[in-house]
Amino acid sequence: MKLFRRRTSQEAPPPDVPLQYTHVIQVFPDKSKKGIKVHDLTASITNPYPSDAFKQEALQLAEAVAETPPTWIIRRSQGRVRTLQSSAEEDAPALASWDPSHWEHGSNDFSFPADSPHSSHALSMTRRGVLRNEGFVKDSVEYVWKCDSVSRRTTTLYKNIGGRETVVAKYATPSVFSKTGGTMVVDSGEIDLIVAILTCAGMVLKLRQASNM
Q: What is the pLDDT of residues 176-212, one digit of tens each?
A: 678 889 999 999 999 999 999 999 999 998 888 777 6
Asked if 101 and 202 touch (Cβ cutoff 8 Å), the reply is: yes
pLDDT recorded at residue 211: 72
pLDDT recorded at residue 32: 60
pLDDT recorded at residue 33: 67
Average pLDDT, the chain: 87
pLDDT recorded at residue 212: 66
Comparison of pLDDT for 12 and 141, the residue scoring more: 141
* pLDDT tens-digit readout, 112-151: 999 999 999 999 999 987 677 999 999 999 999 998 877 6
pLDDT at 9 over 50: no
pLDDT recorded at residue 17: 54
pLDDT recorded at residue 34: 75
pLDDT at 5 over 70: no
* pLDDT tens-digit readout, 31-56: 666 789 999 999 999 999 999 999 99
% residues pLDDT > 70 (the chain): 87
Asked if 132 and 207 touch (Cβ cutoff 8 Å), the reply is: yes
Q: What is the number of other CB atoms lying within 10 angstroms of the CB of residue 165? A: 14
pLDDT recorded at residue 153: 85
pLDDT at 72 over 50: yes
| Rg of the chain over all Cα atoms, to the nearest angstrom | 16
pLDDT at 97 over 90: yes
Amino acid residing at 15: P
% residues pLDDT > 90 (the chain): 64
pLDDT recorded at residue 1: 37
